[in-house]
Amino acid sequence: MAGKNLKKNVRKGMPPRYGRIVDEVCRQDRLYFEEHPHERVRWRKYVEGEFWPAFPAEDSWVRVTCVGPGLRIREPFERPSI
């Protein structure tokens, strides 16, 4: 129950389009960790809008860390310029 309240509070004012994006990337991350239960970190390409209202560069990557059952942290990392 607390998770639903947190989700509602975090999304207050978020346009529905971005809510759908967040739902989908979170679903994909959840499925990844369900299929790879011994993994704790996943790297994947950034999906535009998943960090609304912040918009990292389009070529950014996201590090997803599984910190416990059903609890994941998503962090954007921009590609370094060389």
Query: For every one of its 82 residues, what pLDDT tens digit does the chain have, with 9 covering 90 and above?
Result: 455 555 555 678 899 999 999 999 999 999 999 999 999 999 999 999 999 999 999 999 999 999 998 999 999 998 766 6
For 55, the token pair is 């918009």
DSSP β-bridge partners for residue 77: 61
Domain ranges of the chain: 2-77
Distance between CA atoms of 40 and 60, rounded to whole angstroms? 20
Distance between CA atoms of 23 and 4, rounded to whole angstroms? 13
